Amino acid sequence: MGWLTPDLYYRDVFAIDLDSLRERGIRALLVDLDNTLLPRDTNVVTEAHRAWAKAAAEHGFGVCLVSNNWHERVKAVADELGFQLVPKAVKPLPFAFRKALGLLGAKRSEAAVVGDQVFTDIVGGNALGLLTVLVMPLSAADLPHTLLLRSLERRILAGRQPLP
């Protein structure tokens, strides 16, 4: 089950301890969009997002949005926050993560995947040997097949609680 298991589990992106990631040698963040950075049904970038993007940059992180989505809003969010972007990612396949590493000039050992789904974000990150960081989904709204996978995820996490 190792490849289904996240290395770290946080309530949301804002709870991620950026200092401790830097101490682990991480300097690239490959971040999912839908239900990780923004609720699936909105595209409102808030002051909190701008502050998080600023904090990430100040910590020396390069950030790339890696999204299976392809709508214009994905690009708008990336542009607004100053992030790189790989849309139409087809996670958990490795191509998009590899492309993001190239955009950020980072080695696999220097990168963490941040996402809300075990079967796309975490499996894909683990398969490439990246540090994997699971966050709780921001909203219950999701695609039907994702909702089915959620019940499996709950069994995989087996009562594991996010870090405070």
Q: Which residues bind to Mg ion, rule: CB under 5 A?
A: 32, 34-36, 116
Q: Min. distance of Cβ 23 from Mg ion in angstroms?
A: 27
Q: 101: helix, coil or strand?
A: helix
Alpha carbons 54 and 63: distance in angstroms, whole number: 11
Q: How far is the CB of 115 from Mg ion (least distance, A)?
A: 6
Helix (H) or strand (E) holding 52: helix 47-58
Helices (H) and strands (E) in the chain, counts: 6, 6
For Mg ion, the closer CB: 35 or 132: 35
* Selection from 84, 51, 80, 50 nearest residue 67 by Cα: 84
Distance CA 95, CA 105 (A): 15
- One-letter amino acid at 34 equals D
Instruction: Specify the residue, 62 or 115, whose C-beta has the smaller distance to Mg ion.
Output: 115
Judged by beta carbon, residue 22 or residue 90, the one nearer Mg ion is: 90
Tokens for 72?
Answer: 């214009």
What phi, psi does 39 have (nearest 5°)? -60, 145
CB of 142 to Mg ion, least distance (A): 8
Nearest approach, Cβ of residue 14 and Mg ion (Å): 16
- Nearer to Mg ion by Cβ, of 109 and 152: the residue is 152
**Closest CB to Mg ion among 34 and 110?**
34
In the complex, the smallest distance separating the C-beta of residue 156 from Mg ion, rounded to whole angstroms, is 16
